[in-house]
Chain A
Amino acid sequence: MSLLTEAQTKTTAIIIVSVVIIAIIAGVAVYYASQKPAQTVTVTQTQTVTKTASPTTTTTSPTKTVTPPKIKEIKIGLIEPLTGAHAVFGQEAKEAAELIINVINNELGGIKNLGGAKLKLVVADAGETPEQAKLAAEKLVAQEHPPIIIGAYISRMTAAVAEVTEREKIILVMDGLVDSLTEQGWKYVFRVAPKASAHGKSAVDFVLDMAKKKNLTIKKAAVIHEDSIFGTYVAQGAEKELAKYGIDYIVEAYPYDISDVTPIVSKLMDYNPDIVISVPYFHDAVLLAKTIKEMGFHPMFIAGAGGCGYTDPDSIKAAGEAVEWYTNTYSYNPARPTEWNKKIVKMFEDKYGKLPTEAAGIIFYSLMTVKEALEKAAVLHPEDPLNPDNLRDAFLSLDLTDNNSIAAQLYPTGHIKFAPNGDNIYAGTAVIQVINGKPHVVWPDPEPGIQPVFPRPDWPGAKG
């Protein structure tokens, strides 16, 4: 019996293994067989997207079309985390994108240089993980094949999307801020928004600038940051800047979902720095502000860096008085006194009943930059404006300022020009401070009638 079963298992083994081999071989064969047809599929999809005037799409004609194709509609992909832990950002980004697309199509008459072609927003949910983001990108590409995609806020999800867009030669305008995203040698990526380390640098520059104005000297600083990749890059930007000015500092990292920060605040109090540069997420921002207040820690100044946390309307609601005088660096300046910025902010408030935060702001100017690039592509390459290389060329040749574009009017520095790696050369952030329970832009150009509060009035040295 045992002999037979052994023989039996042996044959089983042989057959199973061969099945696996067959499966693999089948896969390989199918893979190679599918390579060519799959490519034509994508070609037809691009064609359907561009909606050529002739109803029969001639996919394989190698001759260059002399007459420019008439484009009625251009799809713009948006991949954002609409579900899961990061849904806050994604949902707001989607709202902002819908608003801007509406403005472009109805108020600005579409892409003028392309005969008033309309933009159509196609949205996919990036979920919570890189795989989900990748799935979303594949789905969007397969179903819609937009020539330009915007996404995906969270860096590792943006990286997953970029892998797909690079392969498909689709322009990806990133709203993920982590530095390394533009250091991968990717060809079709652009980022209008200021990268993470620029946020950290801005926070330090702001504090030093204010201290200089008020004749205060800063000798010791503490950098505390949540330990995600974003927080770490922001903190590194701050550390570099502190080191440049010869200021001593300590660094403390913590996971953003920490249950209690009392030990960290105690550590800060023990070190007793003049200023604290804090890079929070939302959860820990509430906890930190409340704990710092309750522990009676009174440094000269506490400056936030990295966009989210202290100055968001939700954080102010959740932390109350505790976040008074906190600042934060912002990739967007909702108070920038340019014509279009005022207009868009007003429209956003009217439509959604809240002030746009950073997630919306980045979309505002990124989408407007996309519009400018499309206009430019139509001028530079009228024969095929939606070709990825032509689009890339158009992006790189942009030089947007307040005078010549809406996009720059929405941007904190008012100047957008891309470096070859896709980053904006003139990237910069605004600084927002909570004054009397309301967020106000205080730096570099303060809102009318608003003065930054510096140093903190509860700092013992402030009285003298």
Chain B
Amino acid sequence: MDTFIYSLRKFFQSIPLIFGVTLISFVLMVYFGPDKTYDLLGKNPTQQQIEEVHHQLGYDQPFLTRYFIFFKEIITFDFGYSDSTGEKVSSIFARTIPVSLAVQLPILISGNIISIILALIAAYFRGKMIDKSVMFVAVIGMSVSYLIIVILFQIIFCSSYGLNIFPVQGWEVESFTSYLKYVTVPVLASVFLSIGYNTRFYRAVIVEEITKDHVRTARAFGTHPLKLLFKNILKNSLIPIMTRIIITLPFIIIAGSIVLESYFSIPGIGLVLYDAILTGDLPIIKAAVTWTAMIYVLSLILTDIMYTVVDPRVTLK
């Protein structure tokens, strides 16, 4: 019950944040964003055509009126129709978000599990050969460009120069097997990259924990190293690890991954958003900004709640 009241209060406290974020984004969209008009009319529109389109898109309204309309949209969660395709924004999101999640969730889960295990091993053997090899791979994952990794994995898994067992790109998912067929290579490439960043971060967190007195105590009582790592140390290191994972959620849900989705032709939210930003498709951008802010706030509340689950010393008041 305390948790519920806390979450509710925290959420209401965050409402100004949501409106602040959306206001700033809206100012940027209106004064600095691309003009949809030329995208719709082609190269040589007449002055009259331009005015017509401006009127249709609402560009001729004063800023306050336009912001008021946006304000209403935020409250009702109804962002209208895409300026490009005329499809309802909510249905675009409903269509593309699951696709992005189907790619991103396996990346998030397996990437983090592998990173945590590698980090535990590296931290336990810190300074030794195993640690150095793990960190070597991690630094490669961090420093090599995403594009090179993607192309490399495509060559290894999808071309006749390599194993040639997966399609290079596309997304014709009808069953679980076809899902696996299209999802494997993008997931492998991204997991490889995320291991780089995550392992380094997690290793630092775990090394700090491993030198604490309570770990020495556990060792002095004969605790098995595996239990020491996966119970005593891991639970103590979970706060920074969890924070990092949960904070990435909003970006995964709403933004997907533009690079990944364009390189593998995955029809996810990342591609839609990318196009919307380039062409100035305001309804989609507005919806994305609002939802991201919203989910971000919820993630922060979720992090706070998870703290109390992991660490008995934390109470929500």
A pairs with B:
no
